[in-house]
Amino acid sequence: MAQRLATEYVKTRLQLTEAEMSKFVQMFADQQITAQVKVIENGNQEFVFQEEAGEEIVLSFERVGKQYISSGSCRVTSLRLTNLMRKAIAEFKGSAIVKRIYATFVMMYTYENGKVIKIVEIKGQHTNVVYEYHDTLGQLENLFRRTEIEREIDMIQDQINHLLDMRNEVPCPSLKGDIDARLTKLTRRLFVLEA
């Protein structure tokens, strides 16, 4: 098996509440990773997580309302720090592009809402999609909604045709006025559905 040289967290984004921030720090403390916290202006915080060997991760969190948001990147060679970052992204439903760097290739993982949605192998100029998440249920729901609208459009068109036939056959002007009012409503609804 290939030896991983480093892991690069690119475009990492975590959005935590105050309670989640405590859990986040505790997650590192449970693995004997020391944390230094610097409180910066406006309640923003910078964390330096360091393991015994000296490798560290620096994460800055900006306070926005009642949330702490971290956006940034870091490069890690420690397997323990790499695994903790992966767990943090998964547990706190973060997003990131993670590059696992090997001697002859790179594996790039894309996370959204804490889940891997795409894995790409990169060898020189060649890329190969190893895995890609497809929201089959969502696609089926959209397809169902689309066919439901098409059925409603067909039904409205049938009603319009029927009302037009009735209008041509009715001699009374007041009944024609009622039919015209119904036709106006139906054509507005048809316009909305077709847009």
Which pLDDT score is estimated for 90?
A: 95
Q: Where are the alpha helices (DSSP H) in 18-131?
A: 18-29, 79-91
**Pick the residue with more confidence: 171 or 87?**
87
Is residue 166 a contact partner of residue 158, using CB atoms and an 8 Å limit? Answer: no
Closest of 92, 107, 194 to residue 152, by C-alpha:
194
Give pLDDT tens digits for 104-159: 999 999 999 999 999 999 999 999 999 988 877 777 787 777 777 778 888 888 88
Which pLDDT score is estimated for 195?
A: 67
First CA to last CA distance, the chain: 55
The whole-angstrom separation of Cα 81 and Cα 85 is 6
Q: Are strands 45-50 and 34-39 parallel, antiparallel or unpaired?
A: antiparallel
Is residue 34 a contact partner of residue 47, using CB atoms and an 8 Å limit? Answer: no
Which pLDDT score is estimated for 194?
A: 77
Task: Retrieve residue 183's tokens.
Answer: 């036709």
Which pLDDT score is estimated for 61?
A: 92
Task: Retrieve residue 119's tokens.
Answer: 């894995």
Is residue 28 a contact partner of residue 123, using CB atoms and an 8 Å limit? Answer: no
Q: Measuring CA to CA, how many Å separate 17 from each of 38, 44, 127, 165?
A: 18, 13, 37, 63
Tell me the domain boundaries of the chain: 4-133, 137-194
The whole-angstrom separation of Cα 21 and Cα 47 is 11
**Pick the residue with more confidence: 59 or 3?**
59
